[in-house]
Amino acid sequence: TADALYFSWALAKSWGQLYTNCGGEGTGGTLDEKWLRDFEIKHISSYTNPKKITDLAFMLSFDTRDYSEGCETHQGNFIRWLEASYLSGISTDMVFENAQYKDFARHKRIVCAHTVMLSDNVLKKLRRYVKEGGHLITIGDFAKYKPDGSLRSRVTIGRKSEELGIGKVTVLSDEDCYDNYHWVLNINRFETDLSKATKEAAEYAVEKLRATGGKTLLDAISNDTIMKVTSEQDIHASLFKVRNGFALNIVNTEDTITKEGLTNHLLPIPAFVKGAKEIKNDIQIDINMDIPAKKITLYSPERSRSLAIPFTNTDSKLSFIVPKKKFAGYALIEIK
């Protein structure tokens, strides 16, 4: 549907990713994405090679993912902690275990959640990362196995909370996060028969994840986040360094998930339907960075005109309010 296309595109922008619509035909014929592509072209500098400003990164271990014994269990546990972070206003990224050390070092914190299988080389990189000032957070079994499946006789880092060099290790209890993550509605996206497409909604786990794993992670980092977003509106915001300054992507996630009862993949996503009502709450943005901003401007594919945003910039803190009733689904805030 057209609203699903717009929502998917907005999420991709908030992740700093390219968007490709693989659906092709919608329920009413070919879906129109030209208006979104025109918007991308107009703001190409905000979408070209964006570098996410992060609070922490979760390590994705290919060895753990591909481990034959219990890989689905380990990945399920990884996902619920990842979701808890993502849903709790923590600027969350991902780093791969085979990344170069410089990619490790650019993250203030690295989370290894149920990373049960790691090579000696990755452990050496993590030890260096901590000694040089990084904060390693481990959850669940850590580095228990070598890539060949053998038990590691001794794990020299990540099993206990400690200070090491000028960095530190924090070990969190897996019991501090709700034991279920929010799952998808598994329906063939091309199914148009609602009797086949309609199913019972998955358990709504969002608030439970925020109250458990999200709170635990925030406590572990002493609520030290690069950005604080305050609003009665349920939104997702992500900040990127781009060629001409910074780009802040705001996605309205209000009522995007069916909380209970029957649902299907053709139900409209309210804020992304053509002509949707604009957000009804202001959004307070506080960015804890020394950004020499000269102007802040709001753009949206829904708007024909830009909107200048007043701001204050004191003590390395940039603050501004995105006013209500200026967009419905997605907004791009350019900071120059």
Confidence of residue 262 (pLDDT cuts 50, 70, 90): confident
Q: Please provide residue 131's backbone torsions phi and psi, each rounded to the nearest 5 degrees.
A: -60, -30
Q: Locate tokens 């305050």: which residue?
A: 230
pLDDT of residue 28: 54
Which of 38-42, 180-184, 188-192, 321-325 is predicted least confidently?
188-192
Token duo for residue 259: 């909380």
- pLDDT for 25: 54
Would you state the pLDDT for residue 202? Answer: 81
pTM assigned to the model? 0.91
Percent of the chain with pLDDT over 90: 76
Nearest to 80, CA basis, from 175, 178, 201, 164? 178
Q: What is the pLDDT of residues 269-291, one digit of tens each?
A: 999 999 999 999 999 999 999 99
Model confidence at 194, in pLDDT bands (50, 70, 90)? confident
Average pLDDT of span 202-218:
94
- Count CB neighbours of 255 within 10 A: 12
CB atoms within 10 A of CB 275: 6
pLDDT over threshold 90, residue 260: no
pLDDT averaged over the chain?
92
Site of tokens 């490790």: 104
DSSP summary character for residue 15:
T
pLDDT tens digit sequence for 139-166 = 999 999 999 889 999 999 999 999 999 9
Average pLDDT on 192-205 reads 80
Give the pairing type, strands 311-314 and 317-322.
antiparallel
Cα atoms in the 13 Å half-sphere on the side-chain side of 14: 21
Confidence class of residue 187 from pLDDT cuts 50, 70 and 90?
Answer: low
Lowest average pLDDT, out of 70-79, 120-129, 238-247, goes to 70-79
Give the angle subtended at the CA of 250 by the CAs of 79 and 20, to the nearest 5°.
70
Note the pLDDT tens digit of each residue in 25-63.
555 556 789 999 999 999 999 999 999 999 999 999 988
Q: Residue 298 in contact with residue 256, Cβ under 8 Å?
A: no
Q: Using CA atoms, how far apart are residues 212 and 180, in angstroms rounded to an integer?
A: 11
Structural domains for the chain: 2-50+226-335 (2.60.40), 54-176 (3.40.50.880)
pLDDT tens digits for range 6-28: 999 999 999 999 888 776 555 55
pLDDT in tens, 89-118: 999 999 999 999 999 999 999 999 999 999
Single-letter amino acid code for the residue at 163: E
